A = this chain, B = another copy of it.
């Protein structure tokens, strides 16, 4: 059966459709999204929630010249489907397929490549100021969720919105739900407002907006006042925006396409920034997601007709291992307090939250403040553990520097998603934490290779009285024979003693790849040494000893080579070489090989493909060693 959706290959194709047809289209799109995400994995609930808003936006605005900014961007699926990418939608989040986030390389309809929260209003403001400067008249629209608008970056932009003396529409997509329940006073305030009125009130609000929107020449302040005065509901979030001097309209029903089209059409002509507040339901139209939007925020493949997840992970993730380890630690040490920035599930804190509700804080999508709260807790003699993904921890770099490193406080950072993250792609890789953390005085930076080391690192961090980073990837925990070498601060572990000149030193679970490479090489008669560095900072002098022994040292890390672990080893090797004036050191350092992320953004693909691409998979490591051995031979001959 042919569907309406099949006739939509471009937003222009929406023009002829009636509101009834657009409503039917919304249902078809919801089905496509649910079915497709069940195959590819991805964000489900949030995408189901914004289908009508997306259709209405594309019907009213012309985003070949107007600009649409998505916040975080995980809710852009309907947008992708409408803008000529319907057929590729089945390849969402696959290698060479569509990105799970907006991506200008894919389509002129995507303005920024995003994945972090709070950027839509500030970049929209920049675009508006640019248009002001160029005197161009494109309309600019930022769609931001209630969880992102409370991010400090959004707030800084709202406070500066007055710089724009032209149209700039902010659509506040309020589903009362971040990834988990939205945290903080503003979220509480919004949900109180939401509970204070009926559906009829909402319908009425739409009419009042349409009635009072300023005509040409009518003053905005007057329009907003009139609108407010005639509203049926006593309680609206207008005062939240009044102190910021931003005209506020709403709340309105975000699932009523007809009304949305009328509202957008009316708001199109404003010559000042304004906020339109729309209510949506996360997971709308797919029952399991509607009932459990938290579970279906971001999902792997699942079965559509039933609530069970397809291919339940049989292997244990680092996240799960951490989740158990911190509960265990919490039992032993009541100074341990866990803090997350809207990611209790993603960072593995759900069990801890259940077990120790009074020792758990979720600050919403606000990484910076999570770190400062931890600094305050540490000052009080407690042992805060900050759980944030590597890429999002970038938001707190300055807090890590000033409030933690400079004060030398015992804050532990449990950095999940460190390294290549697979299909989420460049916005989500955690390739820089080794660099931005090891730069700072007083820091210890650890990367456990397996679950035992993760537990050991966590215990060590809590026992100490200094800043401590523990990083691990979005991956399963490798099963490595229990290492008998005790886990000590700054000490590496020799896993394998090889007879050849080659030694490989790894940080984190790349150890497993190196061990597998060693086996492959053994089969070809090359016996290599394998060292598990355990710490990127401090660097164990035993690693430097390899150079003194004349080894060709390969340094492998799931991280950017620039500023990474390998670089840390070389910096220290040079320092020791100069202090000790050891000739063998001088001679060997220059043979070192740095393996890791190059000076490029790692494309979305399966994680194992990415390790290959970064030359840190077992196969690539083995290849590199063989190449070096062959080179060494030819060099020998030529001398």
Seen from chain A, the residues whose Cβ lies within 8 Å of a Cβ on chain B are: 104, 111-116, 119, 122-131, 133-134, 136, 150-163, 183-186, 188-189, 237, 239-240, 242-246, 337, 358-359, 361, 363-364, 366, 368-369, 372-382, 384, 392, 394-395, 397-399, 401-403, 406-407, 426-427, 432, 435-436, 438-441, 547, 560-563, 566-568, 570-571, 573-575, 577-578, 581, 583, 585-594, 599-601, 628, 631, 634-635, 639
Q: Is the CB of B398 within 8 A of A395?
A: yes
CB-contact partner of A590 in B123, B129, B153, B585, under 8 A: B585
Is B439 touching A402 in the complex (CB atoms < 8 A)? no
Contact partners of A561 in chain B: CB under 8 A: 571
With A153-B152, A160-B369, A562-B571 as contacts: A427 and B399 at CB distance below 8 Å:
no
How many chain copies?
Answer: 2
**A152 and B435 contact, Cβ closer than 8 Å, known pairs A116-B402, A239-B242, A376-B127:** no
Contact call B398/A394, Cβ cutoff below 8 A: yes
Q: For the complex, what is the distance from the CA of A317 to the CA of B551, rounded to whole Å?
A: 49
Whether A379 pairs with B127 at a CB distance below 8 angstroms is: yes
Closest B-chain residue to A393, C-beta based?
B398
The residue of chain B having its C-beta at the shortest distance from the C-beta of A237 within the complex is: B243
Q: Which of A133, A161, A244, A568 has the most CB of B within 10 A?
A: A133
In the complex, what distance in Å separates the CA atom of A449 from the CA atom of B200? Answer: 68
C-alpha gap A161/B113 in the complex (Å): 32
Chain B residues near A122: list those with CB within 8 A: 368-369, 372-373, 376
Contact (Cβ within 8 A) A377 B126: yes
In Å, the complex CA distance between A436 and B393 comes to 14
Residues of B with C-beta under 8 A to A394: 397-398, 401
Query: With A and B bound together, what is the CA distance between A573 and B115 in angstroms?
Result: 34
Bound: A467/B242 CA distance, A: 36
The one of B126, B380, B573, B581 in contact with A134, judged by C-beta atoms closer than 8 angstroms, is B380
- The 7 lowest CB-CB distance pairs between A and B, nearest first, are A126-B376, A152-B152, A130-B380, A589-B590, A122-B372, A156-B369, A394-B398
Q: Contact: B363 with A156, CB < 8 Å?
A: yes
Chain B residues within an 8 Å CB radius of A113? 402, 406-407
Write out the residue numbers on chain B whose beta carbons fall within 8 Å of the beta carbon of A588. 590
Closest chain-B Cβ to A585's Cβ sits at a distance in Å of: 6
Residues of B within 8 A of A589 (CB): 589-590
Q: List, in ascending order, chain B residues with CB within 8 A of A384's CB.
A: 126
Give CA–CA (A158, B187) in the complex, Å. Answer: 12
Q: Are A186 and B163 in contact (CB under 8 A)?
A: no
User: A346 to chain B: closest CB distance in Å?
Assistant: 17
A575 in complex: contacting residue of B131, B152, B377, B594, CB < 8 Å: B594
Listed by A's residue number, 28 A-B pairs whose Cβ atoms lie within 8 Å are A112-B375, A116-B402, A126-B372, A129-B373, A133-B377, A133-B382, A134-B382, A152-B153, A152-B154, A152-B368, A153-B399, A157-B373, A159-B366, A160-B363, A162-B185, A240-B243, A394-B401, A395-B397, A395-B398, A397-B398, A402-B427, A441-B600, A575-B594, A577-B590, A581-B631, A581-B634, A585-B590, A586-B591
